[in-house]
Structure 1
Amino acid sequence: MEQDKELRADAWRAIEAGHGYPILNFLFGVGYPKVTAWVRDTVGADVEPFLAPAAVLMMRALEGVATQEKFDQEKFDAAGLGAYLQNEQNAFTRAQPQLASQLNAALDLGQNTVERAERLMLRFTTEEWDALAKLPSLAAAALMMTDLSGPVGLNKEYAALFQALEDTAVANEPDSLVSLAARTYNEPAQIDALQVTPANAQTMLRDASLQALAILSAKATHQEIHAYKKMVVDVARRVAQAENDGGIFGLGGKPVSGDEQRTLDLLVAALAYDA
């Protein structure tokens, strides 16, 4: 149950910080939006605000069950836990057959979404997927390094990056290439680990863009390629526009500096992106 404790702690920290719910990603994967949408449209209840706290409470309850004296701790393994949960599910199904059927349909839809996402990612090697997933954030980091802002401006650019990635993930089907890529490199530590600097920003951006283009050309559909290029460029533009350059106390200046525009032009050219 040690993993349960860690998951509960992660969930509560995320809830308090307003950063989403990792526990729901653990339980539902990328099928989470489909599950909540199905329940909302079928049952008429918006369960999304309650799922994370409910999941945390469920794990707390399971921990309590597992520590009761009547349970043999050595037998309360994965199989024992599975049998216990199955009995609870069967009891719920007998008590609420229609609701149980609707919830099972929602969960099946979520699982189908997860499986489609897994099949899509299996088209690429681990290294190829990493190259595709990191490019949006690498492009944003290159823009930040091209025209360095102060602490306030940098915070605005980071916020713009993470919001753009979140918007992309939400606006597209959760099992699509662009949505999956947008959900991967979305933490400050991951961006820092890319080690983009003012000295290497242009070269890293060009090489990473050409690499992604080669991977997509070999393994993605025309629609996926266009959507991916658009996503990368759109994310980069939002970061570039997050902070005015050349102004005083936030007044005046240009939304995109000349150096940032040249970096954007490099990105567009390397990706062969035609809006």
Structure 2
Amino acid sequence: MALKEKFSTDDWTAVLQAPMLVGLAVTAADPGGLIGAVQESAAVASSVQQAEAGTIGAEIAEAYKTSEGRHAATDGVKPLVKGKKPAEISDAAIARVGEIVGMFDRTAPESASEFRTFLMDIATRVAEAAKEGGFLGFGGEPVSEPESKALDALRAKFQPQA
């Protein structure tokens, strides 16, 4: 049985949104301009595409291959950004992904650790995708302090609930 079958349609849609939300949480924590945003978005896409067969990441990647799956993922993210400043977007994305992880825990506890690891790997790759604070690719730091704080906030949300 595919893991997707354990979830209601709405809950599966939320699972599809989670990779984009962790990427958004890190990107919005320290917006680095157009090039940085493209590099960080590419990090989300490549992380999902490179998911190992038989994992939750692979199921999400398979869903993203359809327009229905892509729309389900992006349509739920849009309301989180509308009319908000970057820091507010980051906070909203972190809160929402925390809710999704909690729902995942209740629905598929046997795969929850794998899901958390998958999402944290994406967030880390996004944070490392573009140097922050440099000029034309020179200087800067691999992970800025605001990105580090976003990663810490995500780790806190990913702690299993007792």
- Indicate the TM-score class for this superposition, using the shorter chain for normalisation: 0.7 to 0.9
Distance 1:182 1:229, change over 3 A: farther
Q: Residues 147 and 190 from structure 1, CA distance in 2 versus in 1: closer, same or farther, beyond 3 angstroms? A: same
Q: Distance in 1 between matches of 2:76 and 2:99?
A: 19
In structure 2, relative to structure 1, the CA distance for the partners of 1:184 and 1:261 (3 Å cut) is: farther
Q: 2:89 is aligned with what amino acid?
A: A
5+ residue gaps, structure 1: 1-115
- Match for 1:126: what amino acid? T
Tell me: CA distance 1:238–1:188, structure 2 relative to 1, closer, same or farther (3 Å): farther
SS in 2 for 1:200: helix
- For the aligned residue pairs, the C-alpha RMSD in angstroms reads 2.4
Q: How many residues align?
A: 151
TM normalised by structure 1 equals 0.50
Residue 227 (1) aligns with residue 110 (2): no
Whether 2:92 is the aligned partner of 1:209: answer: no
Give a deviation string over 1:66-107, Cα, whole Å, max 9, x none: xxxxxxxxxxxxxxxxxxxxxxxxxxxxxxxxxxxxxxxxxx
In the TM superposition, residue 191 of structure 1 has moved relative to its aligned partner by 4.1
Amino acid at match of 1:140: G
**1:221–1:140 CA distance, 2 compared to 1 (3 A):** same
1:122: which partner in 2? Answer: 5
Query: 1:213 touches 1:271 (CA, 8 Å); kept in 2?
Result: yes
Task: Determine helix, strand or coil for the equivalent of 2:140.
Answer: coil
Structure 2 length-normalised TM: 0.81
Pairing 1:266–2:153 present: yes
Q: Which of the pair has the greater relative contact order for Cα pairs under 8 Å at 6+ separation?
A: 2
SS in 1 for 2:50: helix
Corresponding residue for 1:158? 41
Amino acid at match of 2:18: L
**Match of residue 249 from structure 1:** 136
Determine what percentage of the aligned residue pairs are the same residue: 28
Report if aligned partners of 1:177, 1:228 keep a CA contact under 8 Å in 2: yes
Work out whether residues 157 and 243 of structure 1, in 8 Å CA contact, stay in contact via their aligned partners in 2. yes
Q: Which protein is bigger by CA-based radius of gyration?
A: 1
